Amino acid sequence: MTQLNDEQLEQLSNEINRGELARKYYETFVEPFVTEKRNLIFQAFMEASPSDAESLSELRRMISIVNIFDHEIKTYMETGQMAQMSINEADKH
């Protein structure tokens, strides 16, 4: 990897900061929320009648939304980690 210019370094630093903030919020708020919602949705699924297509469809929609939310936050965390790796790699050269 080539040496990073100031603009690239600033962009990577911003990604690291966002990733670290996302990690802190994820561990404190998001992960417990997602776990609780998944458990509630699963419980509702177990109690739903197999013939109640409308309820099953709504539960499927709800779990999809929870999963998308979880994935988006994790993406910020992973992007921050990759930015840190990029800086570390540039520092080696």
Please report the DSSP string for 24-66 in residue order. Answer: HHIIIIIHHHHHHHHHHHHHHHHHS-TT-HHHHHHHHHHHHHH
> Distance (Å, rounded) from C-alpha 37 to C-alpha 44?
10
Residue 90, pLDDT score: 85
- Whose tokens are 């499927």? That residue is 60
Mean pLDDT of 68-90: 95
Does residue 30 register a pLDDT over 80?
Answer: yes
- Whether the pLDDT of residue 3 is over 80: the answer is yes
Work out the mean pLDDT of the chain and round it to a whole number. Answer: 95
Structure tokens at 25: 């919020």
CA-to-CA distance for 84 and 93, rounded, in angstroms?
15
Residue 2: per-residue pLDDT: 67
